Amino acid sequence: MAFLSSMASQPNLASSSSSGPLLASANASKLRQTQTASKPAPVVDLPALQAASQVLLEQLRKDSQIVPDLGDMISGMPSSASYTVFPDDYRAPFQKRKHIGIPESLWQYYTSTNLATHMGLLPEIDRVWIAIDHNLFLWDYVDGQELSSFVDQPDVITHVALVKPKSGVFIDEITSLLVICTPVTVLLIGVSTTPVPGPNNQTRKEIKLYATDMSIACDVEMSSVIGTPEGRIFMSGSQDGNLYELHYQEKEGWFGKRVQLINHSVGGVQSLLPRIGGSSADDRITSLVSDPARNCFYSLTAKNTISVWRTNGDKHVQHLQTISNLYKAAQDKVPGSPALTPKGFNIIALHVIDPSESRSGVQLVAITENGVRLYFSPSSIGSTYGWSTSPTPGFRNLSLAHVRLPPPNLIHPDEQSNPFREAPGGYGVGQGQQQTTSRPYIITALENACYDLGITLAVQRGDVTDSDYLLCMAPDLTQIGSLGQDRLPQMQQPPPQYVGHPYGTTNAVANRVPLTERATLITIPGLTWGIAPVPRSKYSLTTSAPPNTPAPLITNELAIQFSEPARQYIILTNGGLHWVAKRRAVDALKEAIEEFQVEGNAQPLIDLRNSYGRDQTCAMLLAIASGNTFLDPMEQSPLGSMTRVSAELAAVARQAFYDLGERPTWAERTTYGTSDGSGTATFSGRREGLALYFARLVRPFWKVNLTKAGANGLQELSVPDDILVIAQKNLFALKELLDTNPYLFHSAPGDHTGARSATGSEQEAWKAEQSSVSQLLGLLARTIEAISFLLLLNDHRLGELIAQCDPEVQKLLSSLTFEDLITMDKGVTASRALVNVIINQQIGQQISVDTISEVLQQRCGSFCSTDDVMLYKARENIRRAVETRNPMERQTWLGESLRLFMKGARNLEFEKLREICGDYQQLNYAKGAVELPLHCAQVFDTDLQGQEYWIAGCPANDSRAQFWERRKHCYELVLDSLSVFEERCIPTKQSSSQTDDPETVRAHAYELAFASEDEMFHSTLYDWLIARGMADELLEMRPAYLEAHLRREPVSVEKFQLLWQFYVKDGQPLRAAEVLAVLAESTEFNLSLETRLEYLTLAVGNAKSHPVSIGGRHETAIAFLTDLEEKLEVAQVQLELYNTLLPRQHEPEVAERFKALSLRLYNITELYQLWAEPLDLPLIKLLILHVSEHRDESIVRPIWNGIFEEATEGVEPKVAADRIVAKVIPLGQRYYPSESAFPLQYIASLLVRFALAHKGDIPYGWAPRILVQCGVPYPEVWDILHEMYESQVPPFNEQANVQAISSDIAVLLTDWIEEAKRPQSAASRGDFPVFRIDQAVDQYLAELEPGRTETKAAYEAIKRQLRRHW
């Protein structure tokens, strides 16, 4: 066998890790310490945890399906007799475990008298009742010797029962009632129980008896007493076989109790429903059985008639159905069976089948004295389970569904211990096909019987004196379960290769599995008085069928053997008590390992693996190797103590786990038409076993809500602590096993078939397996921590902690399951909220958080990371800082708190950060109030998404915006701190208690803020300061990022204003000029024309102050300045145009054009073409010509013509002359010597021609004087006039006109001389052309007409002046 060979070849593989469990665990704990010391906070990989959790749920689903329902196995088959009977002891399904004799004192009394003795079991309170005559003794069999007695009544006690009391009748301590029957009375005794520690780590029940003063005389002796869940008590009369009810109620107050006996048989029932067959006297009720789950009870009569009853209102019962003629019904199902004879067909007991065993509704089983079992279910179980038409709503008539014959191949107890071991034994041999034994034992006369969750026990007198034989039968899971096991040799075809998921639902009738049971006979010394199952623990319902979870059938012991103790039965004989335990699969496996270890025989191990299948075997081997609280079949202590096998045994279990688990395999799945194939891994039994065992350990709580409503409106844990503690112990043992033996999931070097290397597909399979196992291990560790976390919270009053959470968290917690807490995001949120509350509570109570945070970290690090702990310690330091009076100490605590907050910043929520900043502000701790939010801004945006968004200019609808918002909130906290420190500097706001100087704190805060290297923060800070009117101070400081901030999009006039001032203060006038120029020319700002002009003027000013020497930009700077000056000139034209049009702005053709002038600066061409020309503005045209220096006579002359025409049109010559003066002089003064706007020759000719045309009206010298006033120098005016005088061109070819010119020249020269004589005159004497004038005057005089005396006199005066002065 593989197991044997691998054991031989690898003897050291298992033992290597078991060299010393203490050493191993010590090393492991060291390792854990170093890990916790060095590793960062564990990052919880939720997707991996969720994947692992899905694996667990898959296993739980399998568990709920692998064993068929009782109804499925017996439906469609009228009868069955399939049993597995083993001749050898080691595979016996039941074993005697211990025996306790009746206490010595009682034994002597019991044996020394000939008094009437009765006894029975009360397992609910761990007592045996023994009645000797009128004395009742209650023997505590857990303690062994403890006896209570009741001797306060005179009659012989024949029967004692324990029932539930009615609510509200007795004091709360009374949890059950003893019903004591004598031949003449029935009385009630109250019982209260208190759990107290007992021997061997067990809990025993201490009882107190209370007299109730409730008793009643009766004519018949009562027997078969039963109670109902609501506290009613029914019994049958021994003599008359009638159904009685003992009715009791509380009357006025405590004492006047009223008790009455009601005979329901004589009431309405007999008259309404006459008994079928025989008179009532013959067919009397012999026993009653209660069915609390279905809210009814059954009665059995001496003639095998069964009736069904329901309690119906106070003091009434309703008879629902009677089932009779059962012998005939049974014969119809199994015609000709030797087990069915009229003589042996006598029902000795009825037993209720719990819904947890049969979901399909098998309800009742009756056992006959020769071991035939009759199963009853509503209607016919083979048909559809529709409601039968029954007069009673909600009730379906019962009918006989199946007859189960007794085992035909039982081995006599004497033969059982035969060391007969032929390997495959009786595997799967049903229907009595068994090896021949010397004497099969036939059941004939069973007396006591007990049926409990699929297991049947019954007693028959032995064939030796003073001993009984106990018949034990239990479902054989290896035969009925779909465990992936290799079915038996009788199969001809080879067993199918097992793949990870062979479990199908077993509902299809075609593959219905017939019920097969294991059966055995056990010798019990003494005469049996009673059999009872040991009650399941109070938690068993939670562990076997938790809410919201696929629950296994109660008969699936594989699924529940690790969450509750083995099923045990107490047999009461006249000599004491015997315990018989159901031998579970894990017990058999453990014993097989022991045998292998002692004798080296691996066959039992191989057999078990073949019987239970690879995965189930691996799951059990893990439990044995790691230890489990339910490994010991006799373990009954409430908080299961861990049972561990010896190190040697554990080593064998580990090796068997490794060898029997086989390898994962890979199934290729090629998609047609594509080259790449994908595939699926079929996991090994090791991984399946791990998942299965893990799932079973967590089943009691995995899908259950964490909390439920408790007392005072507070929440409480919905799963008892004890269940969590037990689960955690077992999970931790599993984790320790896997941590210390990592090889269990690795492939062994020679593991591949042949010696070749592993193929690609094998590697894929191993990879998939490793990945799945590592996810499961991650979930295992987290689950252990989660339980620690919850238990810790529970110690700190979980309900109160939840009440302190936010309403959203409270709502979240109310719907959270354990699985959610461990694997979901919402679980992380909820756990963090709870940790915060518990820490706040500690801080609020002035308790150091060190202890609690250390506990949290050690026990449940993934629920309270190192980061979290740092935050708690940091807050603790703030508290200390508040409390201390010493300023040095305070700074130390605050500094330490800041250091810790910064380290744990990634787990800091914004609201908490705001609180902390508030604390720092209160404590005047500028460093914390500024640096912590700045640090958090970086931490909250580790991927720099927010930064990228900001650099991109904050585009709309961008997913990165949220990261920027987070940063911004942090920056706002810094600004808030700065404003707080600012306010404290206002004299009125200063408080007397302040220890630190507010000015110093404020200055320090600003210093820290400006020292930051976060450009985004600087940007936010500058905006804030500017908004507070502190721009000038900012410009004086000129911090590092100010220039970039002012240049950053989106730009604004304010930013540009500050930017050019920044450059001026920074000694960069040229850059200031550039900014001003951009401002002036910008189209995106709504600026007035005056403002634009102002900016251009400033730009020119700054450009001019650019030093010549700077970095070779001289030529560029000059070009830039020239350009600016030109633009300024054009802008001035635009302004003048604007002012010109201002009075006309409402005229239709002007309005639009006028508005457009304010929008931007235009170039000179645009001004001419779009305004001056279309609106015909001559003065503006001149200005444009002047500025553009464009010389074009065809343009300028018509303009001047127009000016003159406008001046002279339709007025007197003198008025016209005045108008010309008023127009020409300002233009001349403005434009001379610009030929493009003021063509001197042409204007002079226009003036002279006007003067000539009106000789009489206009004085001589009028034209030259206008030109002089225009700023034209005397020599130039003289040159122009002299040229006209000489020219002979019309109109100067007429003598009169020439003479008029001569008179003008005389006036001009006179004025010139006068001007030249004046000191500081522009026409200074040095430049005065005396000789030339003298000559010319001579010429003028010679050519003057004699009649022009005035002119002549002027010339002569000129000559005199020349002589005199030059």
Q: pLDDT tens, 193-244?
A: 999 888 877 788 999 999 998 999 999 999 999 999 999 999 999 999 999 9
Look at residue 1110 in the predicted model and tell me its pLDDT: 56
Q: Hey, is 1098 helix, strand or coil?
A: helix
Contact 403, 75 (CB under 8 A): no
Look at residue 498 in the predicted model and tell me its pLDDT: 28
Ranking 110-114, 145-149, 710-714, 1273-1277 by mean pLDDT, the lowest is 110-114
Ranking 16-25, 606-615, 1006-1015, 1074-1083 by mean pLDDT, the lowest is 16-25
Contact 1366, 1324 (CB under 8 A): no
**With bands split at pLDDT 50, 70 and 90, how would you rate the model's confidence at 1320?**
confident
Indicate if the pLDDT at residue 670 is higher than 70.
Answer: no
Nearest to 1315 by CA among 1324, 1303, 1326, 1306: 1324
Residues 124-140, mean pLDDT to the nearest whole number: 93
Give bridge partners of residue 630 from the DSSP assignment: none
**With bands split at pLDDT 50, 70 and 90, how would you rate the model's confidence at 430?**
very low
Indicate if the pLDDT at residue 504 is higher than 90.
Answer: no
Contact 324, 345 (CB under 8 A): no
Indicate if the pLDDT at residue 417 is higher than 70.
Answer: no
> Could you write out the DSSP letters of every residue in 196-223?
EE-GGG-EEEEEEEEEEEEEEE-SS-EE
Report CA-CA distances (Å) from 1197 to 4, 663, 1201, 1204, 1221.
127, 111, 6, 11, 18
322-375 per-position pLDDT tens digit = 999 999 999 999 998 888 998 889 999 999 999 888 888 899 999 999 999 999
Report CA-CA distances (Å) from 982 to 930, 1005, 1034.
13, 10, 16
Mean pLDDT of the chain: 84
Look at residue 380 in the predicted model and tell me its pLDDT: 53
Indicate if the pLDDT at residue 634 is higher than 80.
Answer: no
Look at residue 1117 in the predicted model and tell me its pLDDT: 82
Residues 173-201, mean pLDDT to the nearest whole number: 92
Contact 1274, 1307 (CB under 8 A): no
Look at residue 1197 in the predicted model and tell me its pLDDT: 92
Look at residue 750 in the predicted model and tell me its pLDDT: 52
**For tokens 């709503």, what's the residue?**
393
Q: Hey, is 383 helix, strand or coil?
A: coil
Highest average pLDDT, of 250-254, 677-681, 1289-1293, comes from: 1289-1293
Distance (Å, whole) CA 430 – CA 433: 6
**With bands split at pLDDT 50, 70 and 90, how would you rate the model's confidence at 425?**
very low
Contact 324, 308 (CB under 8 A): no
**With bands split at pLDDT 50, 70 and 90, how would you rate the model's confidence at 121?**
very high
Look at residue 270 in the predicted model and tell me its pLDDT: 41
Contact 231, 297 (CB under 8 A): no
Indicate if the pLDDT at residue 638 is higher than 70.
Answer: no
Look at residue 17 in the predicted model and tell me its pLDDT: 35
Look at residue 280 in the predicted model and tell me its pLDDT: 54
Q: Which long-range contacts (CB under 8 A, 24 or more apart) does 1080-1087 make?
A: 1080/1127, 1080/1131, 1080/1161, 1081/1127, 1081/1160, 1081/1161, 1083/1159, 1083/1160, 1084/1051, 1085/1052, 1085/1053, 1087/1053
Indicate if the pLDDT at residue 104 is higher than 80.
Answer: yes
Look at residue 727 in the predicted model and tell me its pLDDT: 92
Strands (E), 56-116: 79-80, 82-84, 94-101
Indicate if the pLDDT at residue 1134 is higher than 90.
Answer: no
Give percent of the chain with pLDDT exceeding 90: 45
Residues 1333-1345, mean pLDDT to the nearest whole number: 89
Indicate if the pLDDT at residue 99 is higher than 70.
Answer: yes
Indicate if the pLDDT at residue 1084 is higher than 60.
Answer: yes
Ranking 422-431, 669-678, 1210-1219 by mean pLDDT, the lowest is 422-431
Nearest to 832 by CA among 888, 904, 921: 904
Indicate if the pLDDT at residue 60 is higher than 80.
Answer: yes
Residues 674-681, mean pLDDT to the nearest whole number: 66
- Higher-scoring residue by pLDDT: 1113, 1059: 1059
- Higher-scoring residue by pLDDT: 1365, 3: 1365
**With bands split at pLDDT 50, 70 and 90, how would you rate the model's confidence at 429?**
very low
Say which amino acid occupies 718: S
Indicate if the pLDDT at residue 722 is higher than 70.
Answer: yes
Give percent of the chain with pLDDT exceeding 70: 87
Contact 87, 416 (CB under 8 A): yes
Look at residue 381 in the predicted model and tell me its pLDDT: 43
Look at residue 995 in the predicted model and tell me its pLDDT: 66
Indicate if the pLDDT at residue 755 is higher than 60.
Answer: no
Contact 552, 695 (CB under 8 A): no
Look at residue 1124 in the predicted model and tell me its pLDDT: 85
Nearest to 625 by CA among 664, 586, 596, 683: 586
Indicate if the pLDDT at residue 48 is higher than 70.
Answer: yes
Highest average pLDDT, of 926-935, 1021-1030, 1146-1155, comes from: 926-935
687-719 per-position pLDDT tens digit = 999 999 999 999 999 999 999 988 888 999 999
**What is the pTM for the complete model shown?**
0.69
- Higher-scoring residue by pLDDT: 994, 648: 648
Continuous segment of H or E residues that includes residue 447:
strand 446-452
Residues 661-671, mean pLDDT to the nearest whole number: 81
**With bands split at pLDDT 50, 70 and 90, how would you rate the model's confidence at 485?**
confident
Look at residue 177 in the predicted model and tell me its pLDDT: 96
- Stated length of the chain: 1366
Look at residue 320 in the predicted model and tell me its pLDDT: 92
Indicate if the pLDDT at residue 28 is higher than 50.
Answer: no
Say which amino acid occupies 1314: E
**With bands split at pLDDT 50, 70 and 90, how would you rate the model's confidence at 989?**
low
Indicate if the pLDDT at residue 1225 is higher than 50.
Answer: yes
Ranking 134-138, 271-275, 737-741, 1295-1299 by mean pLDDT, the lowest is 271-275
1032-1050 per-position pLDDT tens digit = 888 888 888 888 888 888 8
**With bands split at pLDDT 50, 70 and 90, how would you rate the model's confidence at 20?**
very low
| Residue 267 phi, psi (nearest 5) | -55, -135
Indicate if the pLDDT at residue 819 is higher than 60.
Answer: yes
Look at residue 145 in the predicted model and tell me its pLDDT: 81
Dihedral sign from CA coordinates of 822, 826, 832, 838:
negative
Residues 797-811, mean pLDDT to the nearest whole number: 90
**With bands split at pLDDT 50, 70 and 90, how would you rate the model's confidence at 432?**
very low
> Could you write out the DSSP letters of every residue in 404-440?
EPPPTTEEPHHHHT-----TTTTTT--TT-----S-E
